[in-house]
C-alpha cells in the first residue's frame, strides 16, 4: 500500500493534468510511480523532463533499460525492476539480456562496461576511480556518453527512492528481485 496518495489524473490541477496526460499517452496508462510523484508538480516536471531528455539522448534505449534493471535490483526496487524489464523488452532486449543485466552482466563488452560503471557509482556513491572512467572510454564511450550514463544513474536512483520509500504499488508485470552479487 502506498505511503502517499496517488494523484488521480482526473481530479487534480490543470498543470498536473497536462503532464499526466503526456505520460498516459506515452505509456497507454498513468503508472503509479508518476501518480505518486505528482504530489509535487516540481518533482513531476523534473522527472518527466529527465525521462524525455534521456530518451532522446545518445545512449540507446536498450542500454538505458539494462542499466535501470541493474540499479533497481541493487536497490531492491521491485517497481523499477518490473517497469524497466518490460521497457527493456520493448526496446529490443531479450529476456536473457534483461536477466543478465539485472545481475550487472552482459555478453556485449560495451554494455558490460556500462553496467559495471553504473553499479560502481551506485555502490560507492559516485566515488569511482579515474581508471573506471577510462574503462568506459576504452569500451567505446565518449565523454558525452559518460555524462549521460551518469544522468541515467541519477534518474534511476531518484525513481528507486520514490518507489521504495513511498511503497508505490507495482502496476507492471512482476519481476523477481535477486540477491546482489
The whole-number average pLDDT for the span 106-134 is 98
pLDDT at 169 over 70: yes
Give pairs for 135-140: CB < 8 Å, separation 24+: 138/113, 139/109, 139/110, 139/112, 139/113, 139/114, 140/110
What is the dihedral sign for C-alpha 169, 172, 174, 179?
negative
Q: What is the pLDDT of residue 174?
A: 83
Q: What is the pLDDT of residue 180?
A: 67
The whole-number average pLDDT for the span 92-104 is 97
The whole-number average pLDDT for the span 116-129 is 98
Work out the pLDDT band at 179, boundaries 50, 70, 90: confident
DSSP for 51-104 reads HHHHHTSSS-HHHHHHHHHHHHHHTT-HHHHHHHHHHHHHTT--HHHHHHHHTT
Domains of the chain are: 14-55 (no CATH), 61-165 (1.20.1290.10)
Q: What is the pLDDT of residue 81?
A: 98
Chain-centroid distance of CA 176 in Å reads 16
Average pLDDT score, the chain? 97
Amino acid at each position: 500500500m502506498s505511503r502517499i496518495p496517488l494523484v488521480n489524473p482526473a481530479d487534480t490541477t490543470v498543470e498536473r493534468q497536462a503532464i499526466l496526460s503526456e505520460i498516459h499517452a506515452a505509456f497507454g496508462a498513468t503508472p503509479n510511480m508518476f501518480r505518486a510523484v505528482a504530489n509535487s508538480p516540481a518533482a513531476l516536471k523534473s522527472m518527466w523532463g529527465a525521462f524525455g531528455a534521456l530518451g532522446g539522448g545518445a545512449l540507446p534505449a536498450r542500454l538505458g533499460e539494462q542499466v535501470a534493471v541493474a540499479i533497481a535490483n541493487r536497490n531492491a526496487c521491485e517497481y523499477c525492476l518490473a517497469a524497466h524489464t518490460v521497457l527493456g523488452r520493448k526496446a529490443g532486449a531479450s529476456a536473457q539480456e534483461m536477466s543478465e543485466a539485472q545481475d550487472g552482466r552482459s555478453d556485449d563488452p560495451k554494455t558490460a562496461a556500462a553496467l559495471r560503471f553504473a553499479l560502481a557509482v551506485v555502490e560507492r556513491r559516485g566515488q569511482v576511480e579515474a581508471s573506471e572512467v577510462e574503462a568506459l572510454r576504452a569500451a567505446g564511450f565518449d565523454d558525452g556518453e559518460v555524462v549521460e550514463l551518469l544522468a541515467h544513474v541519477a534518474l534511476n536512483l531518484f525513481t528507486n527512492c520514490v518507489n521504495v520509500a513511498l511503497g508505490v504499488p507495482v502496476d507492471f508485470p512482476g519481476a523477481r528481485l535477486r540477491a546482489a552479487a
